[in-house]
Every structure is written in C-alpha cells, then in structure tokens.
Structure 1
C-alpha cells in the first residue's frame, strides 16, 4: 500500500505529460478552428494551472534560466521561419512583395521609434533599455501569428492580408536584429567609452544582413538541387521524409551563425529559395507539414512555461503605467504605424486595417530580450521581462480572441469562403494545379 502513496517519479510525470501534449498538438487545432479562441491561450492556461499542482516544483522564470530561455526561443523561431518560407506560394519579386517592403521599411522603424519614446518618457526606462524594448516588440512574431498566415503550399489561401503578415514575420525577425545589437553595443560602450557607430553600421548592419541573406540563398539553392534536381534516384525528395526541411533549417542557421551573420534572416531566405527550386512538387507539402508539427509542439512547451512563469511572478515588476503603455503598443503603435506603411497600396480599407492590427508579439520578442540580456548588462532586466511578458500576454489574448471572427468576416466581405483553405488539401501523390485541379508531381 505504501507504493500507492509514493510520489510518482519525475521521469514518469514528464513522459505522461509529453504524451498528453502530443495528443493536444494534434487535436486542439481541430476543436479551435471555428472558435474565437487560439491554441496559445489554451497553452498558457494549462501552464498556469500545472505550476499550481504539487507535482511541479521548479522556477520557470526566464530570469532564472537565461541561457535556456535564449536557446529554446531561438529553436522555436527558426523552425517557424522555415515553415513560413515553405508555405508562401507567391514567387519572390521586388514588385509583387511591395506590401512586405512597406511593413519592413516603414512600419517596423516607426514602431521601434514609438516604443522607444514610450519606454523612455512614459516608463522612465533608460534610452538603451527603451531601444531594446522597441527592437524586441516591433517585429511581428512568426510563431504566434500562424493563425493568420498563409495556408500550406498550394493550399490556395494566400490573400494580401495573410501574405503580408507571413512575409513580414519572416523577414523582420532578421532585420530587427541590428536594433537589438545597437542597444547591446550602446550598453557595452557606456562602460568603456569606445566609439561604436562605424562598427555597428559596417558589421551589424551591412555585413550581417548582406552575408546572412547570401548564405541563406546559397544553402537554399544547395538543398533545392539535392532534393529536387539531383540526377537519378538519389534526390532527397525520393525519401518522402519531411525532416529534410528541419535539416535545412539547422544547417542554414548553424553555418550563418558560425560566420557571425543573422541566422534568422538566413533561414527564411533558405526556405524561400528551397521552395522556388520546385514550387509545385508535392514534397513541399510534406516538408511543411512536418515542420509545422515540430513548431507547434515546441511552441506549446514554451507557452506552458510562459503560463507557469506568469503565476510565479514574471509580471511582478509591472505597474499600471506599464499596462497603459502595453495597451498603447497593441492598439496605437502597431495599428498607426501599420496604416502609415500601407498608405497608397492597392488594398482595401479592411485589408489595411487587418494587416495593421494583427502585428502579434510573442516568442520572437522573448528571444531578442533573452539574447540581449545575455550579451550585456541592463539594469532594468527584470522590468523589461515584465513589460515584454505583459505585451505578449495581451497580444495572445486580444489577437487570439479576435483573429478567427475578424478574418472570417474579411473573407466573406471579399467573396472568399473562410473554410476553403481547410477543405483544399493536396491529393495523395500529386499537388494542386494552378486552377485548383489535381496535378501529378514531376520529379
């Protein structure tokens, strides 16, 4: 009888929890598809409840585990970036990607500047900490924004709103890094007095962006040839194993980081180049589906920990002023800067409003903050985590509750069936042709 009252072994608890989590990964998206509720909201609630049970006894705060926080969020983001790049149907073009360039070149810098001012003058943070806050919160997250991204490869769900937010999330995670590094070099130079502007412009901006994009393109070309163009029966597509996409993700990120370039940017460029190697091959769908499963599982684990950290005091440093600023970031900063960026585009008012509003913050913001705090000493670290955590929480709740009804309404307004993307799937052994008809895959 004593055996029945013993506390279960931690390994057994983790094994059981992992099994339940994998089941939820497969089941919850079906349940939540039509509901004004998102998977991240459910994960946060489950994490908050789990930490209250006597079976869970550890500190989930990112401040207690700074290296783990950085590496785990890094992993989730790079997997999400590969998935985002693989599912974009629109061929890369400077002209047809005009919405993307506006969001990157206008909306994101305006957002960084506005958040910097709110942080410095509204919250009393130092200029350097305010810059880090702006650089962390300005980019649209490629992980949590998946509910409003384009459908799977050849899925037929690629309107201007979904395309704009997907492509923005893919590119801005790399292009926000120069501003994160600017905050780091400013924090480091404060103690030494060494000049930093020339090094930042030549190294952190010119070299890391340019070389990161180039390395990503080279690796994408290499994997594209190995997967689809290699002569004979040796092409990787013949394996039918979607893990090839995960391999390309790790290789692209690893090589780029070893060359001291922006790995996030490289992974997304690799994904776009990989997709262009054989745009309509059915193996693209297999790679995307596996990548999406890995991303969803990792995201759920991360959000369970985030929910637990909320209960254990992540938001303790946050005051009412921080709440007001967080609401301003979600309801004013991103929408206004988004509308300014979209001004003059050939989109409807509803499309511009949707793109402007759904700039979701989350896992990418966690990574930038964790990375910067591990690279330099910021006196306001605890408060920065509280503010970023609050903005991410509000974004997950507000955007998660509104994305399904608002996007379904937008689809109906434009004469689109909001359920079409769920019904339209790639048939076994083939892919969807240009007119939506099954088409046999070619080698």
Structure 2
C-alpha cells in the first residue's frame, strides 16, 4: 500500500513538472497542487501516516537548512544597504510591526493566553514564502523593482524571524512551570552561538573554495556540492556548541555568499532545480501528515485569526513601514497582500513543538498549518489577476515603480565560481 501511494506521488510530480510552464500562469500553484495531493493520499489511506511523519521531520529539517542557506547566500548586504529601500523597510520595520500588531490581534482572539504565547503565534505567522508567490515575482506585468523587493524580503525575513520565534518559544516554557533562567539562558545561547558558528563556517568555507578554484583543485560540477555541504556543516556545528543550527545555516549562507560575491551561479541553479524538489516534497508531506489533523482542529477563532493575519496584520505593517518613501498606495497594498505564509511558517511550528509542549502545542500547530494551506489558496488564486491589474494601474500612472531597479549583484552569467563576470550597478528609484 505504501508503494502504491509513493507511486502515485511520483507520477503526480512528473505530471506537474511536464506542465509547469503552462501552470505557472494559472491558479494551480505548486504548493496548492502538492498539499492537495498529500491530503488526498492521506484520505484514501495509501501511505502509512506514522512512517510519513518520521519522514516529514527529516525532510522538513533538511529543506529548511538548505533554503535558509540558499536564500541568504544570494543576498548582497552592501547593495541591499545602498539601494533596496523597500526590502530594508519591510524587514527592519515591517517584520517587527507584523509581530507587534499580530500579538495584539491574537490577544483579541485568544484573550486567555499569556502575552509570550501570543507573541510566539504572531512571530510564526510573520515570515513569508516566495514559493507561494512565485507567479507574482516571475510575472513581468509587475514592475521589476516590486518583484525584487518581495523576493529579497521573503529570502531574508524567515532567518530574521527565527531568533524571535526561538526566544518566545523558550519563554513559553516558563508558563508551563519550567525554570525561567534556564529557558532564557538556553534561548540566548541558541541565538548567539548559532550566528557565531555560521560566520566561521561560511567564511572559512568561502576562503577554502576560492583558493581551491584559484589553484584548479576543483571544478564547477563539485562547487555546488561543496557549498551545500557547508549548510550541513553549519547546522551540525552549531548544535555541537549549543547554538541553533537553522540560524547558523542562514548566517553561513549570508557570509559565504558575500565572501565569494557574484560567483555562485551554481546556487541559483540548485535553487531552481533540486531546491524545487525539496520544496515540493515538503509541501506534499505537510498535506499528507499535518493538514488532516489541522483541519480537524480548525475552529472559528483560529480561522478568524488567520484571516486577520493575512488581510490586516501584514498589509498594515507593510503600509506603516513604507511611510516616508513616497511609495504609491497601490504598491503598498500590493506588497502588503503578497506576503504568503508557506514552508517557513509550517517548519518553524514543527521546530518549536518539543520546546513549548503543554496546552499550546496543538493549537499553535493548527494555526500554523491552517494558515499555510489557506494562504496557498488565497494567494495562488489571486496572484495572476491582481498582478495584471496592478501592472496595468502602474503603467497607466507612469509610476516610478516600473523604473529599472538595481540588479541583484549575484545574478551573473558566469558559469562557475572561477569565472566571475561583473555588471554595472544602477540606482533604484521609487514611486
């Protein structure tokens, strides 16, 4: 029976891959497709859920480590600081505001919960996922500067939200009667030692790779394997010294990418190929293992909280964060809406479950998983029509949002790390 379920899962993956280009412009996105596939196989009982649950934790951790490393490695901090006003505002102001406003809204829905548990829920719902908004960030009807802003934000906000999630999760332990000082010490150790391990691994790995390339000790086909190995090294090394492996993987990617500069095309290629397979598998397992139980625990208060998070919390936070940038109202609304909740929300909830335990465990997981599939549907269905509508409105207004933005420095045509190719940088203007 398990083999039959896996057979149909791979058949479905093959079919989607063959139709991917056509489906890219439809409402049937990859997250919707694979979540629905997992839910269907769960309902027919073709795959044993206990075995699938064990696989989910392994795939979830591996996927999160790889995605955090890949996302971070493709961000140039210097150019982000100089030119990308929108992502800076959305990350530095929008993310904290999302947590703050989300905590207040969650308190209205769950008035009996302690403040730290409400903050934990808000922090889990704050990260966005570019995979769920892929039809937006690849739609040429949307101005390139807006697409890049959303891509950069979604690439960085999960890594920035993770320390808050870990800290709030550690403090929830106090509510369950655990030692306050022990939990706080544990939380800060995870947050401080993780980046330390990541910086060391990322920098040492970059230096070694650059020298190996310079002396022709390696080749392009192995550079990608080496880079991904660094993600695993950072994750495991942080655990050995008491830090958090996920934060370490993110910081390692950030350090590695900024050390090698625009010479890591293999990371883009992996993200567009094998990385997609990782995400598909994770969404499939979420639909198979977590969505059925989440649906059983979906109550009106939970549904209301999720809808307020999608329609009020993030849009308001993004609107407030962009005050003073002369950004058009339509652009603020568009970027505020297209902050879909995806793998990060689901995987972070799984990650902190052993820490929090108690009465909040089941409800927090239900909130996170239901938010993922609801967001997948709402953002997937609205992506194409709203992108066209927004693109037309910007074109008619002659908004500066359509001006040529600063190209991401790591987007290069060089085939390997050993053959860098530079490109001119232009200034970015905003409407």
TM range (shorter): 0.7 to 0.9
1:119 aligned to 2:106? yes
Q: 1:184 to 1:222 in 2, by over 3 A?
A: same
Select the residue among 148, 155, 169 that pairs with 1:184: 169
**Superposition deviation, residue 41 in structure 1:** 0.9
For this pair of structures, how many residues does the alignment match? Answer: 409
1:244 aligned to 2:205? no
1:102 aligned to 2:89? yes
- Distance in 1 (CA, whole Å) between partners of 2:204 and 2:325 is 35
**Superposition deviation, residue 374 in structure 1:** 0.7
Which 5+ residue runs of structure 1 have no aligned equivalent?
Answer: 1-8, 152-156, 437-443
Select the residue among 204, 216, 237 that pairs with 2:187: 204
| Conserved? CA contact 1:50–1:308, under 8 Å | yes
**Superposition deviation, residue 410 in structure 1:** 4.7
Q: TM-score, normalised by structure 2?
A: 0.79
| Conserved? CA contact 2:2–2:47, under 8 Å | no
**Superposition deviation, residue 399 in structure 1:** 1.3
| Conserved? CA contact 1:100–1:168, under 8 Å | yes
> What does residue 4 of structure 1 align with?
none
Q: TM-score, normalised by structure 1?
A: 0.77
> What does residue 428 of structure 2 align with?
none
More deviation in 130-139 or 184-193? 184-193
> What does residue 44 of structure 2 align with?
53
- Distance in 2 (CA, whole Å) between partners of 1:54 and 1:358 is 34
> What does residue 212 of structure 2 align with?
230
> What does residue 373 of structure 1 align with?
353
- Distance in 2 (CA, whole Å) between partners of 1:267 and 1:149 is 25
Q: Deviations over 1:306-355 (max 9, x none)?
A: 33347733221222232222111100001001111122225444433332
| Conserved? CA contact 2:265–2:414, under 8 Å | no
1:39 aligned to 2:19? no
Which 5+ residue runs of structure 2 have no aligned equivalent?
Answer: 396-400, 426-431
Alignment of 1:287-306 (within 5 A): 287-306=267-286
The secondary structure found in structure 2 opposite 1:176 is: helix
Q: 1:29 to 1:347 in 2, by over 3 A?
A: farther
- Distance in 1 (CA, whole Å) between partners of 2:138 and 2:368 is 26
Select the residue among 208, 215, 239 that pairs with 2:197: 215
Alignment of 1:56-75 (within 5 A): 56-58=47-49, 65=53, 69-75=56-62
Q: 1:393 to 1:233 in 2, by over 3 A?
A: same
**Which structure dedicates a bigger proportion of its chain to helix?**
2
| Conserved? CA contact 1:315–1:387, under 8 Å | no
**Superposition deviation, residue 360 in structure 1:** 1.8
| Conserved? CA contact 1:119–1:130, under 8 Å | yes
**Superposition deviation, residue 263 in structure 1:** 3.3
1:133 aligned to 2:133? no
| Conserved? CA contact 2:102–2:122, under 8 Å | yes
Q: 1:404 to 1:216 in 2, by over 3 A?
A: farther
**Superposition deviation, residue 389 in structure 1:** 1.8
Q: 1:125 to 1:43 in 2, by over 3 A?
A: farther
Q: 1:231 to 1:86 in 2, by over 3 A?
A: closer
| Conserved? CA contact 2:98–2:126, under 8 Å | yes
**Superposition deviation, residue 396 in structure 1:** 0.8
Q: 1:77 to 1:339 in 2, by over 3 A?
A: same
The secondary structure found in structure 2 opposite 1:359 is: coil
1:76 aligned to 2:63? yes
